[in-house]
Amino acid sequence: MTLEVPAGKLDAPDEDPLYCATRELSEETGYQAEHIEKLTTIATTVGFSNEYIHLYVAEGLTPGKQHPDEDEFINVVKVPLDEAVQMVLDGRIYDAKSATSILLVERRLRLTK
């Protein structure tokens, strides 16, 4: 079991990553976002795969009904950002996309203060 930010694969090679992020947020958490902004794109395993993951931050969240895929078993957990950063730093969150997203959001908020 891992603690991760919402994520998923593009349904087609030409699917808009923003659309995919919006869809996955809704499916996995039930939340709808007022605003979604791209953070960055990362290569998952350079030298082994050509996979890229597009990372987004969602703001202005409104709760709704979760509707995951049949093979997904997801428990939504809310973690304050400061705690999530600490969890990355001490290794409790070790999923690369999640760690990167959390640290980028924290830096973004720190720089806008």
The packing angle between helices 81-89 and 96-112, to 10°, is 130
What one-character DSSP code corresponds to residue 92?
S
The Cα 66–Cα 47 span in angstroms is 36
The single residue of 34, 70, 72, 83 carrying the catalytic annotation is 70
83 classed as catalytic: no
Looking at the annotation, which residues are catalytic? Answer: 70
